[in-house]
């Protein structure tokens, strides 16, 4: 596991588009070309595509908008692919609202020392973020040396605001989940549910330092930041129609379907596989047509 210290990076992205202009099919096709995806219907107009190498894409479809969420692992897959510009182009292809952006920042310090430092900085258990007082809460355990470590949340469990911050022992988490030992690492993770832009996603430096309490963490020497301004949200109803026809949408769905692509590739390993696939699809279409006629 490679850790990039002292540089904010995007670790989760939820982005929504007007349904008539959503590029979710293009995104699914893009990730499926990088690593095979496994599709799952989650019900309630929700579906997921899980990458066999780790990471997931979650899609929720509504009448006016479609929300696409991408985990940190699958974002890293895009960054490592050599095709990151293509990914950026797809994301920026339609009007959007970012509904959640997680910015992570790894610091080379043992988590148990960070927990002790937070205790000292905030003896009354309160901090201030975005000009509002926050109640701090800890979820702790013991590391391999039996020292107190874990996660510090800079908001109560009942907090419903748009800016969240947690600080946790990343090395301890990796060991607990994967039984892998990495160097001492504290992760600062800022989550913004409103106002972020794709510019912030591609480089979250200004956004991250805008909200991090200065007594808690400061940029490294040589890091210069600019004032951050929230991006205005679009109204989905303003984009309720599109020039794309139903025929074009269906054609694109067929061409980019991960499941169909997997079937086509599987036919190459079976003698007569392509004819079998054509015959089975024709039969399914015939059965469905009969079902509709009888309904």
Residues 178 and 279 in one domain: no
Looking up tokens 């989940």, which residue turns up?
177
Region 158-175: mean pLDDT is 96
Is residue 244 domain-resident? no
Q: Cα–Cα distance between 14 and 102 in angstroms, integer?
A: 9
Range of the domain at 279: 257-294
Say if 72 falls within a structural domain: yes
In the DSSP assignment, the letter for residue 236 is G
- Do 267 and 190 fall within a single domain? no
Where is pLDDT greater, at 67 or 2? 67
109 and 91 in a single domain? The answer is: no
Mean pLDDT for the chain overall: 91
Same domain assignment for residues 116 and 166 = yes
Residues ≥6 apart with Cβ < 8 Å to 191: 12, 100, 101, 102, 103, 163, 164, 165, 166
**Residue 116 lies inside a defined structural domain of this protein:** yes
Can you tell me the mean pLDDT for 83-109? 95
User: For residue 191, how many other CB atoms are within 10 A of its CB?
Assistant: 20
38, 147: one domain = no
pLDDT in tens, 140-161: 999 989 999 999 999 999 999 9
Q: In this structure, is residue 238 part of a structural domain?
A: no
Give pLDDT tens digits for 105-118: 999 999 999 999 99
User: Which of 233, 249, 280 is a domain's end point?
Assistant: 233
d(CA 204, CA 195): 12
Q: Which residue has the higher pLDDT, 4 or 75?
A: 75
If asked whether residues 132 and 116 sit together in one domain, one would say yes
**pLDDT confidence band for 242 (50 / 70 / 90):** low
Confidence of residue 58 (pLDDT cuts 50, 70, 90): very high
Q: Based on the structure, what is the number of domains in the chain?
A: 3
Are residues 131 and 227 both part of a single domain?
A: yes
Q: Looking at the structure, tell me whether residues 128 and 88 fall in a common domain.
A: no
Instruction: Give yes or no for residue 243 having a pLDDT over 60.
Output: no
Do 48 and 118 share a domain, yes or no? no
| Band (247; pLDDT cuts 50, 70, 90) | low
Q: Is residue 239 part of a domain?
A: no
Residue 287 three-state SS = helix
**Mean pLDDT computed over 235-249:** 72
- Average pLDDT in the 245-264 region? 70
């Amino acid at each position: 596991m490679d850790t990039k210290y002292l540089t904010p990076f995007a670790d989760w992205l939820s982005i929504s588009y007007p349904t008539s202009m959503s590029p979710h099919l293009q995104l699914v096709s893009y990730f499926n070309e990088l690593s095979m995806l496994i599709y799952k219907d989650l019900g309630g107009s929700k579906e997921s595509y899980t990458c066999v190498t780790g990471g997931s894409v979650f899609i929720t479809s509504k009448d006016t908008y479609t929300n696409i969420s991408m985990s940190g692992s699958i974002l890293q897959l895009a960054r490592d692919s050599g095709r990151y510009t293509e990914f950026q182009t797809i994301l920026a292809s339609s009007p959007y609202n970012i509904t959640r952006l997680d910015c992570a920042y790894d610091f080379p310090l043992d988590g148990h020392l960070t927990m002790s430092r937070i205790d000292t900085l905030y003896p009354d258990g309160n901090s201030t973020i975005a000009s509002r007082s926050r109640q701090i809460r800890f979820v702790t355990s013991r590391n391999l040396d039996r020292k107190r470590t874990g996660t510090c949340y800079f908001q109560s469990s009942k907090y419903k605001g748009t800016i969240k911050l947690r600080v946790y022992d990343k090395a301890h988490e990796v060991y607990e989940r994967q039984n892998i030992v990495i160097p001492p690492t504290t992760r600062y993770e800022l989550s913004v549910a409103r106002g972020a832009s794709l510019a912030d996603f591609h480089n979250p430096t200004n956004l991250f330092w805008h909200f991090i309490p200065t007594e808690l963490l400061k940029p490294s020497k040589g890091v210069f930041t600019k004032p951050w301004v929230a991006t205005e949200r679009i109204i989905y109803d303003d984009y309720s129609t599109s020039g794309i026809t139903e025929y074009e949408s269906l054609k694109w769905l067929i061409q980019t379907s991960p499941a169909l692509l997997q079937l086509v590739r599987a036919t190459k390993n079976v003698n007569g596989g392509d004819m079998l696939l054509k015959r089975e699809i024709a039969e399914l279409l015939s059965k469905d047509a009969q079902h509709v006629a009888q309904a």
